[in-house]
Amino acid sequence: MPITPQDASKRAREICGLAPIVPVLVVNDAAVARPLAEALVAGGLPALEVTLRTPAALEVIREMSQVKGGIVGAGTLITPQDVTAAVEAGAQFGVSPGATDELLDACEEADLPLLAGAATATEAMRLLARGYDMLKFFPAEASGGAPALKAIGAPLPQISFCPTGGVSPSNAASYLSLSNVICAGGSWVAPADLIVARDWAAIEALAKAACQLREA
In the set 38, 49, 63, 204, the catalytic residue is 49
Contact 94, 107 (CB under 8 A): yes
Residue 132: is it exposed, middle or buried by C-beta count within 10 angstroms (0-12/13-18/19+)? Answer: buried
Question: What is the CB neighbour count within 10 angstroms for residue 147?
Answer: 10
- Residues in the chain, overall count: 216
Pairwise CA distance, residues 189 & 191, whole Å? 6
Does the active-site annotation cover 150? no
Strand arrangement, sheet containing 160-163: 117-118, 134-137, 160-163
Amino acid (one-letter) located at 137: F
Contact 90, 57 (CB under 8 A): no
> What value does the CA radius of gyration of the chain take, rounded to a whole number of Å?
16
Intra-chain end-to-end CA distance of the chain, in Å: 41
Does the active-site annotation cover 136? yes
- Report the catalytic residues: 49, 136
